[in-house]
């Protein structure tokens, strides 16, 4: 499937609010191909030459609903400062099985491929999560214990399965309310 900035489902499209459904395992050829394309999008999107050539917006994650497919699949790739991959997942039916009460937030806020406009404010999420699901890359069920940035990315992507966008979490009355107990991630 061609995935680029023109084919991403935006937040003014009601499909982005659809709830995603579980995916049958083993993966069908169609689901596998889609998840591979999603993973490739995320990898390529942070390589400036490829991003420009293919019309990609930089991303660390993408969920299937963002390409119009309401299935519980997401691809996540985190790179270090040198552009080397630190961790990557192509998850199917992932779910959060536990989370910390302690909160964390990104100092610069969150963004999303499906959201073109800026939405200022802090989004408080659990500082640590445990996620279970099938990982296509490793071809097995995995348990991910994540903290900090990866924990926030996982929660952001899994919110898409419920039709929730990051800005739904922003305090409308006081977008920059600072929870002094929360971990600030620069």
**Per-residue model confidence as pLDDT tens digits over 114-125:** 999 999 999 999
Percent of the chain with pLDDT over 90: 96
What is the CATH number that goes with domain 14-185? 3.90.45.10
Instruction: Based on the residue annotation, tell me whether 157 is a catalytic residue of this protein.
Output: yes
Here the tokens at position 55 are 């019309």
The bridge status of strand 103-106 relative to strand 183-185 is parallel
Percent of the chain with pLDDT over 70: 100
Q: Domain ranges in the chain?
A: 14-185
Segment 62-85, tens digit of pLDDT: 999 999 999 999 999 999 888 899
Whether the model clears a pTM of 0.75, i.e. scores above it, the answer is: yes
Radius of gyration in angstroms for the set of CA atoms belonging to the chain, rounded to a whole number: 16
Q: Which of 157, 178, 181, 186 is catalytic?
A: 157
3-state SS, 111-122, equals CECCECCCCCCC
Using a 10 angstrom Cβ sphere, with 0-12 exposed, 13-18 middle and 19 or more buried, the burial of residue 88 is middle
Q: In what order do the strands lie in the sheet with 61-63?
A: 61-63, 73-79, 85-99, 128-135, 140-147
């Amino acid at each position: 499937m061609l995935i680029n900035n023109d084919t991403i489902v935006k937040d003014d499209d009601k499909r982005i609010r659809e709830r995603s459904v579980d995916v049958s395992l083993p993966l069908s050829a169609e689901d596998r191909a889609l998840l591979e394309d999603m993973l490739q999008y995320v990898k390529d999107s942070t390589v400036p030459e490829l991003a420009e050539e293919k019309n990609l917006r930089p991303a660390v994650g993408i969920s299937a609903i963002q390409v119009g497919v309401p299935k519980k699949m997401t691809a996540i790739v985190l790179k270090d400062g040198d552009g080397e991959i630190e961790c990557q997942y192509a998850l199917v039916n992932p779910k959060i099985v536990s989370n910390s009460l302690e909160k964390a937030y990104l100092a610069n806020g969150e963004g999303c491929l499906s959201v073109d406009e800026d939405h200022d404010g802090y989004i408080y999420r659990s500082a640590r999560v445990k996620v279970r699901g099938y990982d296509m890359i490793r071809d097995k069920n995995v348990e991910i214990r994540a903290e900090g940035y990866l924990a926030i990315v996982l929660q952001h992507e899994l919110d898409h399965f419920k039709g929730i966008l990051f800005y739904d979490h922003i305090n409308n009355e006081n977008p920059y309310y600072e929870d002094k107990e929360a971990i600030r991630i620069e």
